[in-house]
Structures are given as structure tokens and as C-alpha cells.
Amino acid sequence: MRYRIDFSYDGTQFNGYQLQPNLRTVQSELEKAVSYLNRQTATSVQSSGRTDKGVHALNQVAHFDLNIDTTLEKIKRGLNSNLPEDIHIIRVRKVSSNFHARFSAKKKEYIYKINTSEYDPMMRNYVYQYNRPLDIERMKEAIQYFEGTHDFTSFVSSEDERENKVRTILRTNIKEKKGIIEISFQADGFMKYQVRNMVGLLIYIGSGKKEVQDVSQIIEAKDRTKSVKTAPAEGLYLKKVWY
């Protein structure tokens, strides 16, 4: 039987989601817990997508197949009892055998948090500690240029070898509360470092180092070297996946 799990994790102590030899990853911890539940049978866990080292998830989605027939509550309880404290299973559902956490996904939302106030050591792993003022109105104007269907080559890591770098950003938003700026992007999909690179440019615009109109010019250039440095990982969260 195939099961879908919705789960959250604190990415601080992980070397990203994907399995890597001799490194602690979210996938490796999940597969250990699922395999234990599955009568010690090695079991693959496939997620909606990878997150990088230090990136968090409020609601990530994955699927796996079990050889046992048990209740959803027992699966949830069994997994959480065998997972470390920085991963938590929110819910478990039975799904059809053709459900795939990655390929069945319709859209995703990421958020990015920036602290423009005093440095907060308690939040150092959960927001980007920029600790200087940013012009949020300029950033709100600039982010609109990302909306729609574009070739995002200028905002994708050279490590991402996919030829097709066209994606559709369906919705964006920027809000601020008590010195924390929260930037959100909804899209049909994202590529490696894409959100962090777009945020990096917005920060340059908010600080006056780039102009609002530079966004469209950099998109059209389709050249990563024409953009700016990548924003740090700790401010990024996968918020939601739609199916």
C-alpha cells in the first residue's frame, strides 16, 4: 500500500533533504524510520522535491510503500517515535498506487524571512539576519516582474543541469511585521537556488544597490553572472505543496 506523509523539519542540522553518503539528511532519517516500520525492509521515501542544506520545511510531502496493513494513527505514531526531534510527521494518508509526491504536485509555495531589526541570536538559524533597513516598497514593486512564465536561467544554480529552466510564478507577496520581512513565491515548480537568488536581487533593490527595472533585464539576459549573490539558506522555508 502507498502512503503519503505531510511533515515538517528544522533544516539547521541537515545536509539538505536528499540522500548523501555519510552525511545526515532528511531523506536518510525518514528512510531509516520507514524501513524499521516496514519490518526492517529497506524502503525508499520520495518527496515533492529537494531542499538544500539549512533550508526548513513547514509542510513537505513524501510517499512510500509499506508491506504491512495497519492504521494511519499507528504509522504516524511509529514514525514520530523513530524520528529525531527536528523532523515531525503531521499527518498520514492512504493514496493510490499512481500517486507520486514529486510528479503529482501542481504547485508549491516558498517563503523567505529577513530580519531588518536588531540581531537576534535566538533566530540566527531561522531568518536571514540582514539587520539593516530595506525599502519594502521598492521590493514590492520589483517582485511583480517575477510573476508569469519566464526562463529563469539567470536565477538558477549552475549545478542544476535541467535544460528547461522555464517556470511560471503564479503569485508573489511581501509583508513586514516587527522588523521581519516575509517574501513568498507560489509557482508550478522551482529549481536549485532559484528562490534564494530572486530574494538576493530583491535585497539589492531594497538596499538601493540595484534598480527595480533591473529585474526584467536580468531575467531577459538568461545569464546567472548578470544577477547577484545568493541569499543565505536559513531564511528559506517550503510552506506548502498542492496536488
5 DSSP assignment: E
At 61 the three-state DSSP class reads: strand
Q: How far, in Å, CA of 138 to CA of 117, rounded?
A: 18
Q: How far, in Å, CA of 160 to CA of 4, rounded?
A: 27
Nearest by Cα to 238 from 48, 18, 39, 36: 48
Cell of 124: 540566527
Q: What length does the chain have?
A: 243
Q: How far, in Å, CA of 46 to CA of 101, rounded?
A: 6
| Dihedral angle sign, alpha carbons of residues 128, 157, 147, 200 | positive
Q: Which of 6, 52, 160, 223 is catalytic?
A: 52
Q: How far, in Å, CA of 156 to CA of 219, rounded?
A: 11
Concerning whether 6 is annotated as a catalytic residue, the answer is no
| Residues designated catalytic | 52
